[in-house]
Amino acid sequence: MNGTTGRGRSGRGRVRAAATALCLLAGALTVAASGGSPATALTPPVSLTADDLTTWQTNGIVWAMAGADDGVVYAGGTFSTVRPPGAAPGTSEQSAVNFAAFDAATGAPTGCSLSFTVSSGTATVRALALSPDQKTLYVGGQFGSVSGVGVSNFAAIDTATCTPRKDFKVSVTATVRALAVTADTVYLGGDFNSVAGETRNKFAAVTTEAVLKPWKANTDEVGRAVELTPDGKHVLIGGDFFTVNGTTSHALAVVDATTGAVAKSYPAGFIPDTSTVQDLATDATGFYTANEGTGGGVFDGRIALNLSNFEQRWRDTCLGATQAVQVYNGVLYSGSHAHDCATMGEFPDQPRKHLLAQSVDDPKLLPWFPDTNDGIGEPVGPRVMAQTDKGGHHYLWVGGEFTTVNGAAQQGLTRFADGPDTGAPWVPNVSLSTVAAGKVEVNWQASFDTDDGDLTYRVYRDGASTPVYTTTARSVFWDRPQLRWTDTDVAPGETHSYRISASDGTNTSAKSPAVSATVASAAAKYPAKVLADGASLYWRYDDTATFAGDTGSGRDNGFTRNSPTRQLTPAAVAGPSTAIGFNGSNQYVYSNKRHPQPAKFSMETWIRTTTTKGGKIIGFGSLAMQNSTQYDKHVYMRDDGRLVFGVKSGSLRTITTPAAYNNGAWHHVVATQGSGGMALYVDGTLRASTTLYTGNEKYDGYWRVGGDNLKGWPDRPTSDFFAGQIDETAVYPTALSSTQVSAHYALRTAG
């Protein structure tokens, strides 16, 4: 959530062409899952692919960019060289002292070369803006010379000759961080308090002939963003400030373009005091903020406001500071290090995502997820965006601190275009279930495509080239639901194999590896009892794929983390079954679905271990891809092998078995809570109980197996993660009775 400024310029709106629907082959056999819209290469209104294009790189941070109408993209920042795509740092480099110009369509440098330097300290370019006629590029930052021509943190470049304008001399006493230009005026914001020898606090305006204008929008803290409204009547300003011309308005204000008088202020709390505005963008009807915060209670997301009345249209509440925003074809693209969007119903706290897209009319995240890393510097990843057209294509450029893009080495710069889309969806993960007689349930984890949410799946049987079933479903990286098709055109004793492909309408993944199963002649007794008793989640761990298929009707598949060992035998129950193994340090499985607090529940699983370091076996936690910050409703093993069942009800409440269960044998473990209190069963027998506690902590969370946080819990083991084997995990929305528990245990040898 911490960061400093980035600067981007807004783009021009375009009309989005309607997408052509893909006709789907109807499945003739039993359907257990369906849904979604037909897949297209890009999910409207997204009109840029997530495929990064080959682009030259910098050896430092890109802070500023501007896209010219002739297809040139200018980049400035704190760097000294550029190098070709794929080149390692220090190889094939060309000098580029804090500035470079690139062909938007090829990603290669143009012949425009300038050097921005300072006599002492570190020179940097922090703002770039083109005049409407594209003849002049205005540059702001911290520098005292442009290719040998003396300046003072502010310069004008003749774009035809790529030379500094010697007639443009304006003294600015500190860093210029933001620029916006009309036909006759340049607006600037930054750290300064004096421009052309006169007082101008953080914002100022000069003519295009370098004459200071009487325009005043004085603020008490740094100015980081300046943008003109499309009608030219107002200037939007953003930054760290709390007052504008003496009027209270924190981080954002609308001022008159002629006088600087405040036309719209934003009261305390509209943007929290701990947050700032880093960037602004506009389209025909609205303007958009990029916000960054530090400390508790921050606002790190984006706000959409109407130009008609300057009031809020929407805001998102993602955490992870936003540095840059751009609008194209009705979509707001942003650069940030968002890591938690759960408060708006999107992805939970997890490793950072750096590039996002939203409709200008709705804060819901759109399926556009290219990514960078955090990179160097602070580090926060992307810092700036710019866009332009060339050769019939539109290009979105991104600059910043990153050193990778979409998992491959790429420093400082990257770019995306409106086509062609060349990235295929991930290959589906497939699992088969034959617990019911006379049929094969084909389960698969929905795939993922970085720029399409609706994917079409084709199921192939026994090596055939024609699919036996086709369906379309929606998925995003944090929600990849389990899909299912039931093959009833089979007979007991037959063995069949299945493969599945995923398509975005243009690109199709490879078919998944073939998985085979023999059709059962009778229902497996243990799974049948688990399902009959109402399991809402049932992971059998018989999958060869990298997920845990849910055998139950809830289709709540499990994501495996850090590659636990699959297909271990002997399993806990008889029959064709396998178990999963955990290393006790970082491996676990979490549910795809985020669940509300269960008022009553049962957790059931089998364990086999000889560990003396304990660990969490199963539990409910607030986070999926990292250790939870809220966690209870769990069973864990102490270092001495005894089992603990705990909930948080006012304070931490636990019951513990008198015996140890780390003797290397399979043990059946069931923990229940309901109106009768808490109960812990092992091997079909009640081992610990209390009637005192019928409640647990309220939060939304995920079922996790194999490990999670145990900080603060009684007799916390050496390891929060379980080392051993686990099998047949089930969760129920009820408290199983002792009769049900003992019946489950008795069926262990019945298959």
192: left (phi over 0), alpha (psi -120 to 50) or beta: beta
Lowest mean pLDDT among 11-20, 217-226, 710-719: 11-20
Same domain, 489 and 616: no
Q: Are 528 and 426 in contact (CB under 8 A)?
A: no
Q: What is the rounded distance in angstroms from the CA atom of residue 11 to the CA atom of residue 104?
A: 15
- Give me the torsion for CA of 605, 608, 610, 616, rounded to 10°: -20
Q: Are 391 and 419 in contact (CB under 8 A)?
A: no
| Tokens of residue 105, six digits | 């369509």
| Residue 450 in this model has a pLDDT that exceeds 80 | yes
Same domain, 218 and 290: yes
DSSP state of 166: T
DSSP 375-398: -SSS--SEEEEEEEEETTEEEEEE
Same domain, 494 and 616: no
pLDDT at 297: 86
Q: Which ranges of 238-305 would DSSP assign to H, the alpha helix?
A: none
Q: What is the Cα gyration radius of the chain?
A: 30
Give the residues across from 673 on adjacent strands: 601, 678
Mean pLDDT of the chain: 94
Q: Which ranges of 32-137 would DSSP assign to H, the alpha helix?
A: none
Task: Please write the tens of the pLDDT for every residue from 456-480.
Answer: 999 999 999 999 999 999 999 999 9
Could you tell me which residues come within 8 angstroms of residue 408 by beta carbon, excluding any fewer than 6 positions away? none
Same domain, 551 and 644: yes
Q: Of the candidates 201, 259, 254, 198, which has an alpha carbon nearest to the alpha carbon of residue 226?
A: 254
Task: Assign 39 a pLDDT band (cuts: 50, 70, 90).
Answer: low
Instruction: Tell me if 80 is assigned to some domain.
Output: yes
Q: What is the rounded distance in angstroms from the CA atom of residue 289 to the CA atom of residue 281?
A: 7
Task: Assign 8 a pLDDT band (cuts: 50, 70, 90).
Answer: very low
| Tokens of residue 406, six digits | 């979409």
Region 536-563: what's the mean pLDDT? 95
Same domain, 104 and 138: yes
Instruction: Tell me if 287 is assigned to some domain.
Output: yes
Same domain, 450 and 594: no
Could you tell me which residues come within 8 angstroms of residue 269 by beta carbon, excluding any fewer than 6 positions away? none
Q: Are 474 and 453 in contact (CB under 8 A)?
A: yes
The CATH number of the domain holding residue 498 is 2.60.40.10
Instruction: Tell me if 26 is assigned to some domain.
Output: no
Task: Please write the tens of the pLDDT for every residue from 77-105.
Answer: 999 999 999 999 999 999 999 999 999 99
Instruction: Tell me if 41 is assigned to some domain.
Output: no
Task: Please write the tens of the pLDDT for every residue from 277-332.
Answer: 999 999 999 999 999 999 888 999 999 999 999 999 999 999 999 999 999 999 99
Instruction: Give the phi and the psi of residue 484 in degrees, each rounded to 5.
Output: -145, 140
Task: Assign 576 a pLDDT band (cuts: 50, 70, 90).
Answer: confident
Q: What is the rounded distance in angstroms from the CA atom of residue 154 to the CA atom of residue 5?
A: 17
Could you tell me which residues come within 8 angstroms of residue 585 by beta carbon, excluding any fewer than 6 positions away? 719, 721, 723
DSSP 656-715: EEEEE--SSS-EEEEEEEETTEEEEEETTEEEEEESS--------BEEEESB---TT-TT
Instruction: Tell me if 3 is assigned to some domain.
Output: no
| Tokens of residue 506, six digits | 């243009």
The last residue of a domain, from among 373, 389, 417: 417
Instruction: Tell me if 279 is assigned to some domain.
Output: yes
Q: How far is CA 729 from CA 277, 533, 622, 645, 660, in A?
A: 48, 14, 19, 16, 20
Instruction: Tell me if 311 is assigned to some domain.
Output: yes
Task: Please write the tens of the pLDDT for every residue from 235-277.
Answer: 999 999 999 999 999 999 999 999 999 999 999 999 999 999 9
pLDDT at 320: 97
Q: Return the SS3 of 743.
A: helix
The CATH number of the domain holding residue 289 is 2.130.10.10
- Give me the torsion for CA of 611, 612, 613, 618, rounded to 10°: 50
| Residue 30 in this model has a pLDDT that exceeds 70 | no
Same domain, 558 and 512: no
Please provide the size of the chain in residues.
Answer: 751
| Residue 31 in this model has a pLDDT that exceeds 90 | no
The sign one gets for the Cα dihedral 687, 691, 696, 702 is: positive
pLDDT at 636: 99
Farthest CA pair distance, the chain: 92
Percent of the chain past pLDDT 90, that is, above it, reads: 93
How many domains are there within the chain?
3
Could you tell me which residues come within 8 angstroms of residue 59 by beta carbon, excluding any fewer than 6 positions away? 79, 80, 81, 82, 83, 89, 90, 93, 411, 412
Could you tell me which residues come within 8 angstroms of residue 682 by beta carbon, excluding any fewer than 6 positions away? 643, 657, 659, 661, 667, 668, 669, 670
Same domain, 229 and 341: yes
Q: What is the rounded distance in angstroms from the CA atom of residue 580 to the CA atom of residue 727?
A: 6
Kindly tell me the burial class for residue 545, based on how many C-beta atoms sit within 10 Å of its own C-beta (0-12, 13-18, 19 or more).
Answer: buried
Q: Are 457 and 423 in contact (CB under 8 A)?
A: no
Region 542-567: what's the mean pLDDT? 94
Q: What is the rounded distance in angstroms from the CA atom of residue 82 to the CA atom of residue 57?
A: 5
> Residue 59's CB: how many other CB atoms inside 10 A?
17
Task: Please write the tens of the pLDDT for every residue from 638-684.
Answer: 999 999 999 999 999 999 999 999 999 999 999 999 999 999 999 99
Q: Are 429 and 97 in contact (CB under 8 A)?
A: no
Q: Of the candidates 644, 642, 616, 611, which has an alpha carbon nearest to the alpha carbon of residue 631?
A: 616
Strands (E), 452-491: 454-461, 469-474, 482-487
Region 219-224: what's the mean pLDDT? 98
Same domain, 238 and 116: yes
Region 723-733: what's the mean pLDDT? 98
Task: Assign 631 a pLDDT band (cuts: 50, 70, 90).
Answer: very high
Tell how strand 469-474 and strand 454-461 pair up: antiparallel
707: left (phi over 0), alpha (psi -120 to 50) or beta: left
Q: Which ranges of 127-264 would DSSP assign to H, the alpha helix?
A: none
Task: Assign 38 a pLDDT band (cuts: 50, 70, 90).
Answer: low
The last residue of a domain, from among 457, 489, 522: 522
The last residue of a domain, from among 522, 546, 579: 522
Task: Please write the tens of the pLDDT for every residue from 478-520.
Answer: 999 999 999 999 999 999 999 999 999 999 999 999 999 999 9
Residue matched to tokens 């688990």: 530
Q: What is the rounded distance in angstroms from the CA atom of residue 305 to the CA atom of residue 314?
A: 7
Task: Please write the tens of the pLDDT for every residue from 145-175.
Answer: 999 999 999 999 999 999 999 999 999 999 9
Instruction: Tell me if 446 is assigned to some domain.
Output: yes
The CATH number of the domain holding residue 550 is 2.60.120.200
Domain with 341, as residue range(s), is 61-417
| Tokens of residue 449, six digits | 């495509």
Residue matched to tokens 């690109």: 507
Q: Return the SS3 of 186.
A: strand
Task: Please write the tens of the pLDDT for every residue from 168-201.
Answer: 999 999 999 999 999 999 999 999 999 999 999 9
Strands (E), 104-168: 116-117, 124-130, 136-142, 145-146, 149-150, 154-158, 163-164
Residue matched to tokens 């011309």: 245
pLDDT at 12: 30
Same domain, 273 and 371: yes
Same domain, 432 and 410: no
Residue matched to tokens 């609308």: 254
Same domain, 89 and 236: yes
